[in-house]
Amino acid sequence: MGRGGIEMTTATLDARTLPAHWRDFLALTKPRVMTLVVFTGLCGLLAAPGGIHPILGFTTILCIALGAGAAGALNQWYEAEIDAQMKRTAGRPLPAGRMDRQSALHFGVGLSFFSVILLGLAANWLAAAILAVSILFYVIVYTMWLKPRTAQNIVIGGAAGAFPPVIGWAAVTGDVSALPVALFALIFFWTPPHFWALALFVKTDYAKAGIPMLPVVAGEVATRRQIWLYTAIMAAAAMAPVLLRLTGPIYGTVAFLGTALFAIFAFQVSVRRESDPEKMQPERRLFKYSILYLFLLFGAIVIDRWVFA
Ligand code: HEM
Ligand SMILES: CC(C)=CCC/C(C)=C/CC/C(C)=C/COP(=O)(O)OP(=O)(O)O
Instruction: Assess whether the C-beta atom of 36 lies below 6 angstroms from ligand 2.
Output: no
74 lines ligand 2 (CB under 6 A): no
The pLDDT confidence band at residue 11, using thresholds 50, 70 and 90, is very low
How much is the pTM? Answer: 0.93
Asked whether residue 166 carries a pLDDT value surpassing 90, the answer given is: yes
**How many Å apart are CA 168 and CA 205, to the nearest integer?**
35
Distance CA 259, CA 147 (A): 28
Answer whether 231 contacts ligand 1 (Cβ < 6 A). no
DSSP H stretches of helix in 202-280: 203-209, 214-217, 220-243, 249-271
Q: Give the Cβ contact number of residue 6 at 10 Å.
A: 10
The amino acid occupying position 209 is: A
What is the tens place of the pLDDT at every residue in 70-125? 999 999 999 999 999 999 999 999 999 999 999 999 999 999 999 999 999 999 99
Q: pLDDT per residue over 190-241, tens digit each?
A: 999 999 999 999 999 999 999 999 999 999 999 999 999 999 999 999 999 9
Percent of the chain predicted with pLDDT > 90: 86
Q: Report the alpha-carbon distance of residue 24 to residue 92 in Å, rounded.
A: 8
Atom of ligand 2 nearest to the CA of 64: 1
- CA–CA distance, 168 with 45 (Å, rounded to integer): 4
In angstroms, the CA 46 to CA 56 distance is: 12
Between CA 77 and CA 122 the distance in angstroms is 29
* Cα 33 to ligand 1 centre (Å): 5
- Domains along the sequence of the chain with CATH: 21-172 (1.10.357.140), 177-309 (1.20.120)
Ligand 2 contacts CB of residue 158 (under 6 A)? no
Relative to the CA of 40, which ligand 1 atom is closest? 30
Q: What are phi and psi of 99, to 5 degrees?
A: -150, 150
Question: Does 40 or 8 have the greater pLDDT score?
Answer: 40
CA-based nearest residue to 192, from 234, 222, 221:
234
Alpha-carbon distance 77 to 109, whole Å? Answer: 11
Separation of 294 CA from ligand 2 center, angstroms?
16
Q: What is the pLDDT of residue 51?
A: 82
What is the mean predicted confidence (pLDDT) over 39-65? 96
